[in-house]
């Protein structure tokens, strides 16, 4: 045979060729998550910061301030002070974050592993960063895997390895990986790692596999390998079972060897860690952009007016004749009107630069960061289970206020509304149900319907106790241990199926008892069900599994092929052969387990007409009404000829390097036919605590809650009733119930068994028209129930408007039998068609689509792994925490941030407009009013801290009152705190305050007025100082007017702003230094504070400005009270009663 280096394989851009123990041209194994290096940090960070339009605008203004003919600051760019502070603050934050990334990268890259790089070479200890594609790596027990690699040997004689993938997908249950049997045969079994390394050093060949991708659960490759020139090369098909990913932890084996295929940035964990393009942007953030544009337009208009007026003034003949105005240039030429206009326009751009608040983005970002920290610390959202404490985990701060405006909540069921702690509750064989008692969901439904509930049967004292099994039926002892019983063979076959057809990993717990670990709680519960009745799954190896039977005998079951579950197949099958059993030796069987909608179609045609199967159909419906999760188990014997022919096609599909999954699915379809039903399983998943209360409060808040689930219609309806989404059908509620349209594939099934789309579309149109008619009468549907097949038609572009018309006029919507893709499509449709703010919540990988599609994605840290938790915006541990997240923190954040944004624009209007008013009385000469150092400190010191403390801590009502009155949430739904009307009222308030602040001091303390005992007239700088002092006082008083929860922190912020102004004024006036800081204010402190007129002016101007707002608030509170005013009044009244 040719050596692997001489083997020519067809090149394909979609595949890569890895030479075993050969040179590599692929990327190294270094992990780089940092964004900067020591050399490029400064230029790269500055470049990124100055791609933001706001920073570019303020840099442009700084350049203008240095131009001699334009500057109003003596050529010194004073705006650079706040700009540098903001850029440095952002840069420092970026540097700290990137330092942490560098430290993490260094620790990761410097880990050690045993590595072999060339044939015949001894293994050596190297850093992870020095591992390359094609190397063979040794990983010991409880060590982490350094790169994505194909498993080629392990300490287990069959080449098995158990791994933990918590770093990849958050799942702590163990998964089984295995060497391909042909690799085990090629390299042989070894008890020592040294022997395995020596043998692996002789391995030669080429692995052709798919290019690097982010899909954790797929891998397609073919290894053409040999041991020396004397052996024939073998084409070995490799799949996801044969690859171990970087970050996995090796468990329960002493060592393993792996062939490295993907390294560094091309490993799957790193490809999943890459930042996603784009980010979710809140609606409030978009509104801020619009408001900023409007304010910029206002600034431009004022600059145009001022520049035009100034140009007219400077070029008029009457003014040119006034020589003391010095309007002529040095050569006595008449100034050019356009040049004067251009210069004055730029002058006023500088003077009015603070119209656009430079501190807005920083203030909002810092406030939101503090808000998410408070969410993390909130005791209302901390979940304690055993010794673990799970906090609310905000993964972004951009969407805090968005949670106060949610209109639609889309929820998964399993693990979200329910506990996802599965118990094997009932099963049915030949239409006979085994399992006594009533499920919790059925009990809740009957309670809501006012029906009498029977007490559950007592558990017999000697009843066997098995984890995740809650099944009592006295008939089963007779069935299982009486061979002549008519149900005995069928029930035993069913239980054996439970013990055989799964991917559960057995492991011993701390007490030495056998425990099962599975990727799905359902799978483990079914395996425990088999154990409960004597069919105990013991172990698994590459050839099959061992099962202990009720009589104590061990039966070895050889698995010939495992056709795994995927979302399109909706079933899991195992083709197997029993041996060490004389009766069945050599016979091949197929066992299939999956959803009834799929398995039912694959049953043997004559079997479908039997009474047992018809009865089983009724049992399925009854179990669904009880809220049980059902699966159908089926199987048949396969002839040897059929198996041999099929198995050849299966091997061909397994070896395919392109579209392997599709080819395997097609081959599976060929064999999964003519099955006989073994039985039906019923798994109970109990509702989480507080689900019903949470949904009721969200509905009372005006939020529409939809449930999107893969369960059957009957199960979904009962869950809807149990949680309060749907009303029960009782005499007491019948008068309250509206119509409930139900669209199911069974209702619209054509004669050939397919969906009758024409009749379904006609029904959609009729119900949509009825919904529009109902809306005119102020009536809506009680709810809508629709299954996946009907939903597929409803989501078609030509029908989606009818679906929207119906669903948005319902109290709630329940979508059943839906796929992950359909979940995301429903969310996107409502989001785009209704322009609604949406939230999606789920706990599993099948919920990721809708979580990422919604405006806000909430992930529950559940038992299905952390996939949803890892892609969400906010993570919680229980569904009931959603009421705190939305009704408390979301509502608070929306109010705080909305007021903060409006206030930030307001306070800048207050400080800028006096400059404009000075222009009105001075011919728009471009004269500035404020000292530059004080003026540029305004946004970063004098007015920043109080409003930031407001944005972090203010509470209009307490947490308890927020939950008692969910109707308060309507403020966010109606966008009460940031809309054009409210923003205009803030702007109007700013204009009024600016007028009071400027004109009262102007007419009392300027124009040569003498207000001090020294007899000196007041100049413009004294006037500017008084005006600026009034600005600081008034804008901070406005924070007090908006504050509902006045704490010591708020008082601290107010006093800090005021006394910092005193300190800074004393500094620039030269009172704290022996030198002159600025001639404008030198020595002004004593003259200013020694004048009685100052205190009278300050009191008059501040009172005149603020009392108007105070009166308007009082009028609104008394004559036009909002929901908040009514609730606050009720709280105050309750406090008065308690004091009495």
Which three-class secondary structure string do you get for 41-98?
HHHHHHHHHCCCHHHHHHHHHHHHHHCCCCCCCCCCCCCHHHHHHHHHHHHHHHHHHH
If you average pLDDT over residues 647-670, what whole number do you get? 82
Are the CB atoms for 526 and 681 separated by under 8 Å? yes
* The pLDDT of residue 862: 61
Confidence of residue 87 (pLDDT cuts 50, 70, 90): confident
If you average pLDDT over residues 409-426, what whole number do you get? 88
Nearest CA to 21 among 109, 122, 112, 135? 135
Confidence of residue 5 (pLDDT cuts 50, 70, 90): very low
* The pLDDT of residue 1138: 86
Q: What is the pLDDT of residues 154-167, one digit of tens each?
A: 988 778 888 887 66
User: What positions carry a catalytic annotation?
Assistant: 412
C-alpha to C-alpha distance for 96 and 101, rounded to whole angstroms: 9
* The pLDDT of residue 139: 93
Q: What is the pLDDT of residues 1083-1121, one digit of tens each?
A: 677 777 777 888 899 999 999 999 999 999 999 999 999
Nearest CA to 530 among 579, 471, 582, 570? 471
Q: What is the pLDDT of residues 338-364, one digit of tens each?
A: 888 888 888 888 888 888 887 787 888
- Sign of torsion, CA 651 652 658 661? negative
If you average pLDDT over residues 819-847, what whole number do you get? 90
pLDDT reading at 13 higher than 70: no
* The pLDDT of residue 12: 57
pLDDT reading at 794 higher than 90: yes
pLDDT reading at 902 higher than 90: yes
SS (H, E, C) 108-173: HHCCEEEEECCCCCCCEEEEHHHCCCCCEEEEECCCECCCEEEEEEECCCCCEEEEEEHHHHCEEE
C-alpha to C-alpha distance for 1005 and 341, rounded to whole angstroms: 31
Confidence of residue 10 (pLDDT cuts 50, 70, 90): very low
Confidence of residue 733 (pLDDT cuts 50, 70, 90): very low
Confidence of residue 945 (pLDDT cuts 50, 70, 90): very high
Q: What is the pLDDT of residues 686-713, one digit of tens each?
A: 888 899 899 999 999 999 999 998 887 8
Question: What does the angle CA 175 – CA 181 – CA 183 come to, to the nearest 5 degrees?
Answer: 105
What backbone torsions phi and psi does residue 877 show, to the nearest 5 degrees? -100, -25
First to last CA, the chain: 100
* The pLDDT of residue 81: 79
559 forms beta bridges with: 576
* The pLDDT of residue 753: 65
Question: Coil, strand, or helix at residue 553?
Answer: coil
127 forms beta bridges with: 112
* The pLDDT of residue 571: 57
Are the CB atoms for 170 and 150 separated by under 8 Å? no
* The pLDDT of residue 735: 39
If you average pLDDT over residues 470-499, what whole number do you get? 91
* The pLDDT of residue 404: 95
C-alpha to C-alpha distance for 479 and 387, rounded to whole angstroms: 43
Of 256 and 457, more confident: 256
pLDDT reading at 941 higher than 50: yes
* The pLDDT of residue 1031: 95
Nearest CA to 909 among 56, 77, 292? 292
If you average pLDDT over residues 777-784, what whole number do you get? 85
Q: What is the pLDDT of residues 545-599, one digit of tens each?
A: 889 999 888 888 888 888 877 655 655 666 666 656 655 666 888 999 988 878 8
Q: What is the pLDDT of residues 363-378, one digit of tens each?
A: 888 899 899 999 999 9
If you average pLDDT over residues 1060-1064, what whole number do you get? 87
If you average pLDDT over residues 745-772, what whole number do you get? 85
Confidence of residue 904 (pLDDT cuts 50, 70, 90): very high
pLDDT reading at 838 higher than 50: yes
C-alpha to C-alpha distance for 906 and 987, rounded to whole angstroms: 6
pLDDT reading at 616 higher than 70: yes
Q: What is the pLDDT of residues 452-473, one digit of tens each?
A: 777 767 777 777 889 899 998 8
pLDDT reading at 122 higher than 80: no
* The pLDDT of residue 882: 96
Confidence of residue 198 (pLDDT cuts 50, 70, 90): confident
List CB contacts of 528: < 8 A, sequence separation 6 or more: 424, 466, 467, 468, 469, 516
Half-sphere exposure of 941 toward its Cβ, with a 13 Å CA cutoff? Answer: 17
pLDDT reading at 1060 higher than 80: yes
Q: What is the pLDDT of residues 640-654, one digit of tens each?
A: 888 889 988 988 887
Burial class (CB in 10 A: 0-12, 13-18, 19+), 842: buried
**Average pLDDT across the chain, whole number:** 85
Q: What is the pLDDT of residues 142-151, one digit of tens each?
A: 899 999 999 9
pLDDT reading at 797 higher than 70: yes
List CB contacts of 984: < 8 A, sequence separation 6 or more: none
* The pLDDT of residue 913: 93
Residue 652 in tokens? 């061909």
Question: Coil, strand, or helix at residue 536?
Answer: strand
Residue 568 is given by DSSP the state: T
Residue 756 in tokens? 């009758």
What backbone torsions phi and psi does residue 544 show, to the nearest 5 degrees? 165, -150
Strands 112-116 and 124-127: antiparallel
- Region of 784 (left: φ > 0; alpha: ψ -120 to 50; beta: rest) is beta
DSSP string, 1010-1052: --STT-PPP-HHHHHHHHHHHHHHHHHHHHHHH-SS--HHHHH
List, edge to edge, every strand of the sheet that includes 784-787.
393-394, 874-876, 856-860, 838-842, 408-411, 704-708, 813-816, 784-787, 742-743
Q: C-alpha distances in angstroms, 918 versus 396, 927, 994?
A: 45, 8, 11
C-alpha to C-alpha distance for 768 and 175, rounded to whole angstroms: 49
Strands 813-816 and 704-708: parallel
Strands 112-116 and 536-540: unpaired
List CB contacts of 660: < 8 A, sequence separation 6 or more: 220, 239, 653, 654
Residue 64 in tokens? 């203008």
Nearest CA to 711 among 674, 682, 679? 682
Confidence of residue 724 (pLDDT cuts 50, 70, 90): confident
pLDDT reading at 991 higher than 90: yes
If you average pLDDT over residues 411-424, what whole number do you get? 86
* The pLDDT of residue 6: 34
What backbone torsions phi and psi does residue 878 show, to the nearest 5 degrees? -140, 150
Nearest CA to 148 among 239, 258, 279, 241? 258
Confidence of residue 1011 (pLDDT cuts 50, 70, 90): low
Are the CB atoms for 1049 and 949 separated by under 8 Å? yes
Confidence of residue 659 (pLDDT cuts 50, 70, 90): confident
Q: How far is CA 398 from the centre of its chain?
A: 12
C-alpha to C-alpha distance for 900 and 284, rounded to whole angstroms: 12
C-alpha to C-alpha distance for 733 and 451, rounded to whole angstroms: 13
């Amino acid at each position: 045979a040719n050596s692997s280096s001489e083997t020519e394989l067809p090149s394909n851009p979609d595949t890569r060729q890895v030479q075993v123990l050969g040179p590599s041209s692929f990327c190294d194994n270094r992990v780089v998550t940092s964004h900067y290096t020591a050399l490029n940090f400064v230029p790269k960070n500055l470049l990124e910061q100055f791609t933001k339009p706001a920073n570019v605008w303020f840099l442009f203004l700084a350049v203008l301030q240095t131009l001699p003919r334009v500057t109003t600051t003596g050529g010194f760019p004073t705006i650079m002070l706040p700009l540098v502070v903001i850029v440095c603050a952002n840069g420092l934050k970026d540097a700290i974050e990137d330092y942490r990334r560098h430290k993490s990268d260094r620790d990761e890259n410097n880990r050690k592993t045993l590595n072999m790089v060339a044939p015949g070479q001894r293994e050596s200890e190297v850093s992870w960063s020095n591992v390359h594609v094609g190397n063979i790596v040794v990983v010991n027990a409880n060590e982490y895997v350094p790169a994505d690699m194909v498993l080629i040997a392990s300490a287990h004689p069959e080449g098995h390895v158990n791994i933990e993938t918590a770093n990849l997908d958050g799942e702590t249950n163990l998964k089984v990986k295995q060497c391909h049997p042909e690799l085990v045969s090629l390299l042989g079994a070894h008890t020592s790692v040294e022997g395995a390394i020596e043998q692996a050093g002789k391995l030669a060949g080429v692995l052709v596999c798919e290019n690097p991708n982010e899909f954790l659960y797929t891998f397609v490759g073919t290894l053409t390998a040999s041991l020396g020139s004397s052996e024939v090369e073998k084409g070995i098909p490799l799949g996801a079972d044969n690859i171990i990913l970087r970050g996995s932890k090796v468990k329960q084996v002493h060592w393993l060897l792996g062939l490295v295929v993907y390294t560094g940035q091309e490993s799957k964990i790193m490809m999943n860690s890459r930042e996603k393009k784009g980010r979710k942007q809140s609606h409030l953030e978009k509104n801020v952009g619009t408001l900023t544009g409007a304010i910029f337009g206002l600034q431009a208009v004022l600059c145009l007016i001022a520049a035009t007026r100034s140009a007219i003034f400077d070029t008029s003949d009457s003014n040119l004749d006034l020589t003391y105005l010095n309007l002529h240039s040095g050569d006595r030429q008449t100034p050019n009107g356009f040049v004067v206009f251009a210069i004055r326009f730029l002058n006023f751009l500088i003077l009015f630069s603070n119209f656009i608040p430079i501190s807005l983005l920083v203030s909002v970002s810092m406030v939101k960061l503090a808000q998410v920290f408070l969410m993390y610390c909130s005791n209302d959202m901390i979940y304690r289970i055993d010794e673990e404490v799970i906090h609310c985990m905000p993964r972004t701060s951009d969407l805090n206020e968005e949670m106060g405006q949610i209109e639609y909540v889309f929820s998964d069921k399993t693990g979200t509304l329910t506990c996802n702690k599965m118990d094997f509750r009932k099963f049915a064989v030949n239409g006979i149900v085994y399992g006594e008692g009533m499920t919790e969901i059925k009990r809740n439904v009957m309670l809501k319907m006012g029906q009498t509930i029977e007490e559950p049967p007592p558990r017999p004292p000697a009843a066997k106790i098995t984890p995740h099994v809650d099944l009592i039926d006295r008939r089963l002892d007779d069935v299982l241990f009486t061979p002549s019983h008519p149900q005995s063979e069928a029930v035993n076959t069913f239980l054996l199926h439970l013990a055989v057809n799964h991917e559960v990993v057995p492991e011993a717990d701390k007490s030495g008892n056998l425990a099962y670990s599975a990727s799905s709680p359902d799978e483990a519960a079914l395996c425990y069900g088999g154990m409960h009745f004597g069919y105990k799954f013991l172990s698994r190896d590459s050839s099959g599994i061992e099962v202990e039977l009720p009589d104590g005998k061990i039966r070895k079951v050889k698995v010939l092929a495992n056709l795994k579950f995927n979302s399109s197949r909706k079933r899991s099958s195992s083709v197997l052969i029993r041996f060490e059993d004389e009766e069945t030796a050599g016979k091949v069987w197929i066992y299939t387990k999956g959803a009834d909608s799929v398995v039912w179609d694959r049953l043997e045609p004559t079997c479908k007409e039997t009474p047992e199967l018809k009865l089983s159909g009724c049992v399925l419906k009854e179990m669904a009404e009880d809220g049980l999760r059902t699966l159908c188990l089926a199987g048949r014997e396969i002839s040897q000829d059929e198996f041999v022919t099929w198995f050849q096609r299966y091997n061909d599909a397994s070896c395919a390097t392109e579209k392997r999954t599709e080819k395997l699915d097609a081959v599976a379809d060929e064999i999964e036919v003519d099955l006989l039903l073994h039985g039906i399983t019923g798994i109970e998943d109990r509702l989480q605590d507080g689900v019903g209360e949470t949904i009721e409060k969200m509905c009372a808040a005006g939020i529409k809650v939809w449930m999107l689930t893969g369960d059957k219609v009957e199960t979904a309806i009962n869950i809807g009733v149990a949680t309060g989404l749907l009303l029960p059908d009782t005499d007491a509620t019948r008068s309250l119930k509206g119509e409930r349209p139900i669209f199911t594939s069974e209702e619209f099934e054509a004669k050939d068994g397919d969906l009758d789309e024409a009749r379904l579309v006609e029904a959609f149109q009729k119900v949509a028209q009825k919904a529009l008619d109902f809306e005119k009468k102020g009536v809506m549907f009680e709810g809508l129930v629709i299954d996946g097949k009907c939903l597929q038609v409803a989501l078609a572009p030509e029908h989606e408007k009818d679906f929207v018309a119906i669903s948005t006029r319902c109290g709630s919507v329940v979508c059943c039998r839906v796929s992950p893709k359909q979940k995301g499509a429903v969310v996107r449709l409502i989001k785009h068609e209704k322009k609604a703010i949406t939230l999606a919540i789920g706990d599993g990988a099948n919920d990721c689509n809708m979580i990422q599609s919604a405006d806000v994605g909430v992930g529950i840290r559940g038992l299905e792994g952390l996939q949803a938790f890892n892609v969400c915006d906010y993570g919680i541990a229980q569904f009931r925490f959603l009421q705190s997240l939305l009704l408390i923190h979301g509502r608070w954040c929306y109010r705080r941030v909305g007021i903060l944004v409006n206030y930030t624009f307001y306070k800048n209007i207050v400080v800028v407009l006096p400059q404009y008013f000075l222009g009105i009385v001075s011919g728009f000469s471009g004269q500035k009013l404020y000292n530059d150092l004080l003026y540029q400190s305004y946004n970063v010191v004098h007015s920043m801290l109080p409003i930031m403390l407001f944005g972090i801590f203010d509470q209009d009502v307490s947490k308890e009152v927020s939950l008692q009155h969910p109707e308060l949430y309507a403020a966010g739904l109606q966008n009460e705190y940031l809309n054009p009307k409210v923003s205009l009222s803030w702007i109007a308030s700013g204009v009024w305050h600016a007028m009071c602040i400027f004109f009262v001091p102007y007419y009392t303390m300027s124009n040569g007025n003498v207000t001090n005992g020294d007899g000196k007239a007041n100049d413009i700088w004294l006037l500017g100082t008084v005006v600026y002092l009034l600005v600081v006082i008034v804008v901070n008083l406005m924070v007090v007017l908006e504050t509902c929860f006045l704490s010591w922190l708020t008082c601290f912020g107010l006093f800090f702003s005021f006394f910092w102004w005193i300190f800074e004024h004393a500094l620039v006036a030269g009172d704290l230094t022996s030198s002159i800081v600025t001639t404008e204010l030198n020595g002004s402190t004593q003259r200013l504070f020694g004048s009685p007129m100052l205190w009278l002016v300050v009191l008059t101007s501040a009172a005149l400005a603020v009392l108007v707002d105070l009166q308007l608030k009082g009028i609104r509170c008394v004559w036009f009270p909002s929901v908040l005013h009514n609730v606050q009044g009720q709280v105050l009244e309750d406090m008065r009663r308690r004091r009495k």
